[in-house]
Amino acid sequence: MKTVLEVRNLTKYFNGFKAVDTISFDMYSGEILGLLGPNGAGKTTTLQMLLGLTTPSGGEIRIFGLPFEGHREEILHRVNFSSSYVALPYSLTVRENLMVFCRLYGVEKPERKIDELLDIFEIRNIKHIPARRLSSGQLTRLCLAKALLNDPDILFLDEPTASLDPDIADKTRGLLRRIREERGLSILYTSHNMKEMEEMSDRVIFMDRGRIIAMDKPEGILRRYSGRSLEEVFLKIARG
């Protein structure tokens, strides 16, 4: 399998506090990699460094074989991001929001791309509705549509289903799996929903206090910690 993301000895200090402690891992083409850990484990900081939002204190990030530093634009053209904690301008319609990002990513035939994604996420009926009038489920799907506009090779998702009801969350997971299969998309995924992690991830990285304490397939993690579910393992780790 082709490696799309290589992380080597990645470290981040905040005022002397080691938030991420020399972690190393790879992500492969078409893989869904879950990033798991209690609050303060360093997941978000890791994600931020992978997206170039936070500068690492040490270590190396290579995406598509290129060092992030010095190839930012080239790399960001081929990746995208969605988070339940990030929104889109409320006054703009669904179409306008997506059009802005189509132009930022240099998407060819943007109208066709927008329609295609709105159909995939079943929100074409709200194309001309301002984002402020959308339900949280519709808003999440809009953010996911935005994240797929540039046909990314890697998608970074930070708790993408956090604000969704079980039905919409299940549909969203199904969609993400389908898109992964159809396009060979690699997804780095953080979530506090252990069941979701177990269901979605090909491999899981468990982080605690800035370090990777386990990295394996979900069943491998369960075996190693003698747990029946990732939630049980999570609680064991979080409670020491």
Partner 1 sequence: MNISRILAYTTRHLYLYRRSLPRLMEIFYWPVLDLVVWGFISVYLSEYRGGLPAFVSFFLGALILWDVLFRSQQGISVSFLEDMWSRNLLNIFVSPITPSEYIASLLVISFIKLLFASTVMVFLAWLLYSFNILTFGFHLIPLVANLIVMGWSVGIVTTALILRFGQEAEVLAWGIAFLFQPVSAVFYPVEVLPPFLQGIAMFIPSSHVFEGMRAVISGGDLPVEKMVWAFGLNCMYIFISVVFFFWIFRRVKEKGLLTKIGE
Binding mask 154-193 for partner 1 (x = CB under 8 A): --x-------------------------------------
The verdict on 39 binding partner 1 (CB under 8 A) reads no
- Residue range at the interface with partner 1 (CB under 8 A); choices 32-40, 93-101, 113-121, 162-170: 93-101
Q: DSSP letters of 107-148?
A: -SSHHHHHHHHHHHTT-GGGTTSBGGGS-HHHHHHHHHHHHH
Nearest-angstrom CA–CA distance, 27 and 30:
9
Phi, psi (5° rounding) for residue 89?
A: -55, 125
Of the candidates 112, 165, 111, 174, the residue with the CA atom closest to the CA atom of residue 140? 165
The crossing angle, in degrees rounded to 10, of helices 136-148 and 94-104 is 20
In whole angstroms, the minimum distance from the beta carbon of 81 to partner 1 comes to: 5
Total site size for partner 1, rule CB under 8 A: 40
Shortest distance, position 40 Cβ to partner 1, whole Å: 13
Q: Does 77 bind partner 1 (CB under 8 A)?
A: yes
Which of 91, 108, 167, 228 binds partner 1 (CB under 8 A)? It is 91
Nearest to 92 by CA among 142, 47, 21, 42: 142
Pair 201, 35: CB distance under 8 Å: no
Inter-CA distances, 202 with 7, 76, 95, 126, 146, Å: 18, 24, 34, 34, 24
Which region among 58-66, 101-109, 117-125, 186-194 touches partner 1 (by CB under 8 A)? Answer: 101-109
Closest distance between partner 1 and the C-beta of residue 175, in Å? 20
The CB-side HSE value for 34 (13 A sphere, CA atoms) comes to: 24
Query: Within positions 49 to 68, which residues make up the interface with partner 1, using CB under 8 A?
Result: 51-55
Query: Residue 13 Cβ, how far from partner 1 at the closest point, in Å?
Result: 10
- Shorter beta-carbon distance to partner 1: residue 20 or 233: 20
In the complex with partner 1, the residue whose CB is nearer, 129 or 215, is 129
Positions that interact with partner 1 (CB under 8 A): 12, 14, 19, 44-45, 48, 51-55, 72-73, 76-77, 79-81, 83, 85-93, 96, 99-106, 130, 146, 156
